[in-house]
Amino acid sequence: MAPIYIFQYLIISLCVQAFGVFVYIVYYTDFLLPTQVLESKVYDYIIVGSGTAGSLIAHRLATETNYTFVVIEAGGASNPLYEIPILGPMLHGSPYDWQYETIPQENACLAMEGNKCKLTQGKIFGGSAKLNNMIHIRGNISHYVNWFHGAHSESYIRQQFDFIEDNIIQLNKLRFTSQLSDYILEAAKELGYEELNNEYKIGFGKPLVSQINGKRWATSDNVKQKHVLINTVVEKLLFKKNRCYGIQLVNKKLFARKGVILSAGAFNSPKILQLSGVGPAKLLQSLEIQLVQELPVGKNLQDHIGTGLDLVLFNYSLSINAFNFFNALHVYNYFSQGKGPLTTTGCEVVGFVSTKSDTQPDIELMVLPVGISADRGSHLRNILRINDEVWNNYFAKLFDKHASTILALILHTKSKGEVYIKSKNPYIPPLIDPKYFTDGEDVKILVTAVKMIKEFIQTEKMKSFGAYLNEIPFPGCEGHKFFSDSYLECYIRHLTLSVFHPIGTCSMGLPDNKNSVVDTSFKVIGLDNLYVVDASVLPTLPSSNINAAIAMMASVFFDSQIKRKNIGQCHKRQRCFINYLSKDMCLKGDILLHCV
């Protein structure tokens, strides 16, 4: 390694380590502080998990009902510095990340240590929305209608999106992009693609992001701290016959009058259910856990996976790089105006394309202006667990170039995995086997998608910008002709990447379907007072980043299962009058009422 790159590595590593020390100090200071004193042991609703779904439900409970509730969060509180978008990846692998990983994969993740892919999930007040790319895209509305098996119309779901986008979620355009984004959009036009809107269709565009004044924003920002118990692990749910009446914490129990709402995510919601006796009978019996309800909890795991890191090269640096954070002007612009490179989400353009000449896309392309070689191996390589051979013989050879990524993701994987506990101890991580690429069709689609990336690089617009293809043979694939189908299959199976969109492990469906864990009202089948509302209930992957779909589902749950039950309940000392025009209408019998 040349001296200049060693110097860069040392400088970046020093800054990474300094921020890491800061993170640990903040985390353990909060962790060691006296825990919040609960107002009660009994609440109308207990929400387990403060991610997008849990926090949205909590916010609407606080602002639209008189119900009492508490949010239980296993992770720590956030910090103003964590809201700087460019620092999002710095929390990956930190105490604010569950630091989950797959079990060794036979058909994928071959470039990673132990053939295990990293599965980042937020362990922080706000959940994974505090670590993600902040992208908000509705996706294909018709898919959501299918999830509910006709219980809700397309018009109703659009209304839900309209409501949360207008009243709950903070959405804004990107406040900074590199030169690459405009060239990509021009290249997309050159290839015949249209501009993308906020919904589902083939095309390219700059996404809306959940930011406010350039700062990361999450639904948890709407929730008051008094309603949240942080650094608190739920050990199990409490049942009396088929009714869930509360939760077990490390040294206390909390009780729910109307419902326990699991919103702990696609890995932790099934884990908590299984620890509580809800899941596959054979698994629970092997761990001597009393069976409460046999359901396919943990099955049907799906994820958006792809490839393409550092595949686009330039002979000069773009306006965003690993050293932006050290620029005093950029720091000033962020804190004074909420602008500049520090506001970057990491993804500047998204595109939806079809590998089958269809009107429905099966691939998402995410344009990332900086590759993982940019930090010289100080952090990004470690959070992905890239092994030494691949790093030294591929990524480390790019230090004299500016590497960017057009990440190709398969939208609807046919390969499905599972999540299951391996112990009765709630502090031991679950085993996660996504079974990536066990269905060969997934590989074929990604092979075509990587060829599409090459088409982009070879457009006149991209060539005029100085872009060219990284032609270093990928370690382990040297025996194949470069960029042949067999080479690309080898490349994909080695450089397998999750964008951390796991879903499906507590799938929604009709009660008589053998794959269903919750019904279309989000209630766990066969059990009362227990609901699951998070990414785990999505039976299939959305045709977009998943955060918008999760927020919509949480809003549907609130309206259909909580607000409807609260209808007709006015605040004390209030009277109800007939009023068909008010936004605050409630229903009592067949008469619309308004509380005043």
Question: Which whole-number Å values give the CA distances from 523 to 27, 257, 262, 490, 593, in the listed order?
Answer: 34, 15, 10, 43, 28
The radius of gyration computed from the CA coordinates of the chain, to the nearest angstrom, equals 24
Annotated binding site for FAD: 234
CA angle centred on 211, ends 369 and 60, rounded to 5°: 140
Q: Which two tokens stand for residue 23?
A: 């993170």
SS3 34: coil
Pairing of the two strands 293-294 and 278-279: parallel
DSSP conformation class of 198: S
Q: Nearest Cα to 453, choosing from 261, 574, 309?
A: 309
DSSP conformation class of 503: B
Pairing of the two strands 203-205 and 118-119: unpaired
Q: Nearest Cα to 556, choosing from 26, 130, 40, 148?
A: 148
**DSSP-assigned states of every residue in 533-567:** -SGGG-SS--SS-SHHHHHHHHHHHIIIIIIHHHT
Pairing of the two strands 69-72 and 228-229: parallel
What is the distance between the alpha carbons of residues 578 and 592, in angstroms, rounded to a whole number? 6
Query: What contacts 155, CB < 8 A, 6 or more positions away?
Result: none
- Which residues is 216 bridged to in the sheet? 211
Bin 311: left if φ > 0, else alpha if -120 < ψ < 50, else beta: alpha
Looking at 229-311, list the stretches that DSSP marks H as alpha helix, in order from N- to C-terminal side. 265-275, 281-286
The position carrying tokens 């001296």 is 3
What is the distance between the alpha carbons of residues 299 and 283, in angstroms, rounded to a whole number? 12
Q: Which two tokens stand for residue 239?
A: 């049942």
The amino acid sitting at 165 is E
Question: Which whole-number Å values give the CA distances from 265 to 8, 231, 272, 342, in the listed order?
Answer: 38, 16, 10, 28
Q: Which two tokens stand for residue 459?
A: 């457009």
Instruction: Quote the crossing angle between the two packed helices 154-167 and 547-557, to the nearest 10°.
Output: 100
Annotated binding site: 234
What is the distance between the alpha carbons of residues 228 and 370, in angstroms, rounded to a whole number? 36
By 3-state DSSP, what share of the chain in percent is helix, strand and coil, each rounded to 5?
Answer: 35, 20, 45
What is the distance between the alpha carbons of residues 527 and 293, in angstroms, rounded to a whole number? 8
In the chain, what is the straight-line distance between the N-terminal and C-terminal CA atoms, in Å? 73
Please count the other Cβ atoms lying within 10 Å of the Cβ belonging to residue 152: 18
